[in-house]
Amino acid sequence: MLATPDTPADDQTAAFRADVLAGLSAPIPAVPARWLYDHRGSELFDEITRLPSYYPTRTEVAIFHEIMHDIAARIPMGAAVVEFGAGSATKTPILLKAITPAAYVPVDISGDYLEQSAADLQHDFPALDVIPVVADFAREFSLPGGIDHLPKLGFFPGSTIGNFVPRSATDLLRQFRSLLGDGAHLLIGMDRVKPVGRLIAAYDDPEGVTAQFTLNLLTRINRELDGDIPVEAFRHDARWNDILSRIEIHLVAMRDVAFTVAGTAFNFAKGSSIHAENSHKYGPRGGRVLLLAGGWTPVAEWTDPGHDFAVILAEAQPVRFAP
Ligand code: AVJ
């Protein structure tokens, strides 16, 4: 297994600080959702995926089990699978078993989490060339040279695309397109629009795990950016924004609060909020249009019997596409 040089930890902290200071000063205060996933955040998200009301993970896994023979028939053997994210111990092996790729390249911002999951996978697939890349997949990066000649399959499960507003989602898909090149495929999961009650239940569970997950952002800011935010003064709030077709997660101040982060003072009035996450939901047409706008032509789409979640296989558009 080849190791890739890590991004220095202080670069990460500097990026986190810049995002938080700019985000908390913005007219609509917001922090990019990627900062929810520190070590504790990843643990809590893992717990979320097992909650009874959080349907996406188990639904997507069930779809994967159903469709892998079909995927295997459509993807050439000996491909390089490039996963955007560290990979899940449940989903990734289903794909790797089905298509027997030559290489697996997980790309994730969190170095230690990535090294660990890559090592576990290498143990289970000894013949596979596992090449983790520490990078923020939303920014530009290069693939390891050794996989140049292999057919490419991008893997972006979990409805992570839903974290991005459509404009950024389009940029991201276009970047995947240019990174993976002509002839590549992309296998992507998208959560579907459904009745509001079920959506809210999925993002505001009675167990309170999602609330802990969101509030952990404030704990992380306090720890890593020398902050003194009174975490107990904020509550997690999941709202459905119908016109933008997304769940929004906010941290709402329950009283007037004043605090500092990295030496900068902030005031939040009672009832005001920090927007911590979006989770966009797509209908069948919206999902396909998003892919098309991002340079990918959908070739097959599968859902569960309840149409709660969709898995789409798309092909890189040739540079000259359309009449
Ligand atoms: C990891 C972005 C797919 O939007 O469902 C779950 C994150 N946040 N509960 C989602 C999340 C709160 C999740 N994604």
| Residue 294 pLDDT grade (very low, low, confident, very high; cuts 50, 70, 90) | very high
CA of 223 to the centre of ligand 1 (A): 23
Lowest-pLDDT range, 107-116, 156-165, 272-281, 294-303?
107-116
> Is any atom of ligand 1 closer than 6 Å to the C-beta of 279?
yes
| Spatial separation of the C-alpha atoms in residues 217 and 212, rounded to whole Å | 9
- Side-chain half-sphere of 226: how many Cα atoms within 13 Å? 5
| Residue 28 pLDDT grade (very low, low, confident, very high; cuts 50, 70, 90) | very high
**Across 296-310, average pLDDT:** 98
**Across 265-293, average pLDDT:** 98
pLDDT of residue 69: 97
pLDDT of residue 229: 98
Strands 309-316 and 129-130: unpaired
pLDDT of residue 8: 57
The DSSP result for 305-323, as a single string, is: TT--EEEEEEEEPPSS---
pLDDT of 267 above 90? yes
CA of 279 to the centre of ligand 1 (A): 6
CA of 297 to the centre of ligand 1 (A): 25
Q: How many CB atoms lie within 10 A of CB 83?
A: 25
| Residue 256 pLDDT grade (very low, low, confident, very high; cuts 50, 70, 90) | very high
The answer to whether 187 touches 101, Cβ cutoff 8 Å, is no
Mean confidence (pLDDT) of the chain: 94
**Across 256-280, average pLDDT:** 98
Task: Identify the residue whose C-alpha is closest to ligand 1 atom 2.
Answer: 160
Read off the DSSP letter of residue 161: G
| Residue 42 pLDDT grade (very low, low, confident, very high; cuts 50, 70, 90) | confident
| Residue 9 pLDDT grade (very low, low, confident, very high; cuts 50, 70, 90) | low
| Spatial separation of the C-alpha atoms in residues 180 and 185, rounded to whole Å | 8
| Residue 320 pLDDT grade (very low, low, confident, very high; cuts 50, 70, 90) | confident
Q: Each residue of 196-207: pLDDT tens digit?
A: 999 999 999 999
Q: Each residue of 188-243: pLDDT tens digit?
A: 999 999 999 999 999 999 999 999 999 999 999 999 999 999 999 999 999 999 99
The answer to whether 229 touches 218, Cβ cutoff 8 Å, is yes
pLDDT of residue 322: 67
Burial class (CB in 10 A: 0-12, 13-18, 19+), 74: middle
| Spatial separation of the C-alpha atoms in residues 80 and 20, rounded to whole Å | 36
pLDDT of residue 134: 92
**Across 149-175, average pLDDT:** 97
| Spatial separation of the C-alpha atoms in residues 257 and 265, rounded to whole Å | 11
pTM of the model: 0.94
Q: How many CB atoms lie within 10 A of CB 275?
A: 18
pLDDT of 5 above 50? no
CA of 56 to the centre of ligand 1 (A): 9
The answer to whether 159 touches 56, Cβ cutoff 8 Å, is yes
**Across 140-162, average pLDDT:** 96
> Is any atom of ligand 1 closer than 6 Å to the C-beta of 159?
yes
**Across 163-183, average pLDDT:** 97
> Is any atom of ligand 1 closer than 6 Å to the C-beta of 4?
no
Residue closest to 113 by CA, chosen among 103, 104, 101, 121? 121
Q: How many CB atoms lie within 10 A of CB 171?
A: 15
pLDDT of residue 12: 85
The answer to whether 281 touches 194, Cβ cutoff 8 Å, is yes
One-letter amino acid at 105 equals V
> Is any atom of ligand 1 closer than 6 Å to the C-beta of 48?
yes
